[in-house]
Amino acid sequence: MEDILVGLDIGTTKTCAVIGTMNQNNQVEVIGVGVTPSKGLKNGVIVNIDNTTAAIIKAIDEGELMAGYEVTDCIIGVSGQHVKGQNSRGVVAVSSRNRTITTNDVKRVIEAAQAVVIPMDREILHVLSKEFSVDDQIGIKDPIGMTGVRLEAEVHIVTGVTSGIQNMIKAVEKAGFQYRDIVFNPLAAADAVLSRDEMELGVALLDIGGGTIDIVVYLEGGVAYSTVLSIGGIHVTNDISIGLRTPIESAELIKKKYGCAVLDLVDPSEVVEVPSVGGRPPRKLLRQELTQIIEPRVAEMMEMVDRELALSGKKDMLSAGIVLTGGGSMLDGSIEAAERVFNMPVRIGSPRDIAGLADRVATPQFAASVGLLRYGLRMNQLRTGKLAPEKGGSVFGRMKKWLEEYL
């Protein structure tokens, strides 16, 4: 059996572990899936390391039982409002006498681009190249072998608070597993659900989790913008709990079973049974009343994202529209609610191009987990030489070689 890894998405409301390997067709084969509720995180950041560790152990044990294999190595997904993205440019002179650009020149220009001032309490997670310029020729994806005097690179740098990242690593190691790498969740989700055409045309991926909405914008095949908003599905659940006077657990079940984000889609005569607190008998109410609680909150969330995209200056460039993924996107009417706010095409993104237990993970809530697994297996192939890196593909820093996917 080839190297077996775990894509570990430690979220605010649930921890997902997807175990898999690379099959003979160079396709990710999922052999085990584990999901367990999370109680140790708030808005994507660990607040109780023991509860987080217990959730990790339970999720991976569940996946191992299904797979029939024990695993030791994880690819960890990180999110939370502490994660920030920024664009940067680097310029170097071509070093060779005949002015031919080499791999070393590309390495130097990316290192120059990532030489930005960041606070002492932050560290660089990823350095993602968008495009290169040779002299005044712009829009070059692979400059190696070209002739020029000046080489410029435009990169996107993702940073996170060191303590938040270290706590995530500590929780995984305390659970008895080793981490191979840490990846920003929406980048992994994008790798699992977006097509090359969408990335080239311009697309925004919204990974709607329990406590956060992760946003990443792709333009011309590269990452142009990324950010995290501290609002998510748990806020909708809290509204239902308060509005219907029902426990949080019951509110979550009601949201999943009967929730809808658009009032026009609900049958006016449909009735919902709501559990009460304190031993009182359950109550019945119209599904429309439930939707009247959910609709304003979902609209507010989408409007916050819309404002963020408008401030970034990238909203008018999204020719391929918006892709929703994550557990929060599974709410009925999410597409219609998003289309009303964004005024552009919206679709739900699920993991694609996977083998094995594809039916178990072909839902939006597993997008980040499958993307993390895909990333880890691809990096393992590059390390062992089973997958030749594309010419000029190289990322320097913690992200190592994510660029192989884009150059």
Q: Give the span between the Cα atoms of 109 and 202, in whole angstroms.
A: 25
Single-letter residue type at 227: T
> 263: which DSSP letter?
G
Sheet holding 122-134, edge to edge: 84-93, 150-161, 122-134, 137-140
Give me the numbers of helices (H) and strands (E) for the chain, helices first please.
11, 19
Place of tokens 């062992």: 384
Nearest partner of 107 among 73, 136, 143, judged by Cα: 143
Using an 8 Å Cβ cutoff, are 107 and 90 in contact?
no
Q: Is pLDDT of 39 > 90?
A: no
Using an 8 Å Cβ cutoff, are 29 and 23 in contact?
yes
In this structure, the strands spanning 14-22 and 203-208 are unpaired
Burial of 96 (C-beta count, 10 Å sphere; 0-12/13-18/19+): exposed
Single-letter residue type at 86: Q
Q: Give the span between the Cα atoms of 111 and 102, in whole angstroms.
A: 14
Q: Give the span between the Cα atoms of 198 and 271, in whole angstroms.
A: 40
Mean pLDDT of 308-314: 92
77-134 confidence digits (pLDDT tens): 998 889 999 999 999 998 888 888 888 889 899 989 988 888 899 999 999 888 899 9
Give me the pLDDT at residue 394, please. 33
**Backbone dihedral angles phi then psi of residue 406, each to the nearest 5 degrees:** -115, -15
Using an 8 Å Cβ cutoff, are 85 and 190 in contact?
no
Please report, rounded to a whole number, the percentage of residues in the chain having pLDDT higher than 70: 94
68-93 confidence digits (pLDDT tens): 888 888 999 998 889 999 999 999 99
138-162 confidence digits (pLDDT tens): 888 888 888 888 999 999 999 999 9
Second-level CATH architecture of 84-161: 2-Layer Sandwich (3.30)
Single-letter residue type at 348: I
What's the mean pLDDT when you consider all of the chain?
A: 87
Output the six-digit token pair for 358: 């594809």
Place of tokens 């460039």: 317
**Backbone dihedral angles phi then psi of residue 229, each to the nearest 5 degrees:** -110, 135
Domain ranges within the chain, ordered by starting residue? 84-161
For every residue of 47-108, DSSP letters joined together read S-HHHHHHHHHHHHHHHHHHHTS---EEEEEE-STT-EEEEEEEEEE--STT-B--HHHHHH
259-302 confidence digits (pLDDT tens): 899 988 888 888 888 887 777 788 888 889 999 999 999 999 99
The region of weakest confidence among 160-169, 335-344, 390-399 is 390-399
> 190: which DSSP letter?
H
Q: Is pLDDT of 337 > 90?
A: yes
Q: Give CA separation, 18 vs 136, 369, 372, in Å.
A: 45, 6, 9
Q: Give the span between the Cα atoms of 371 and 15, in whole angstroms.
A: 15
Enumerate residues 6+ apart whose C-beta is below 8 A from 285.
244, 271, 272, 274
| C-beta atoms surrounding 280 within 10 Å | 9
Q: Give the span between the Cα atoms of 279 and 23, in whole angstroms.
A: 53
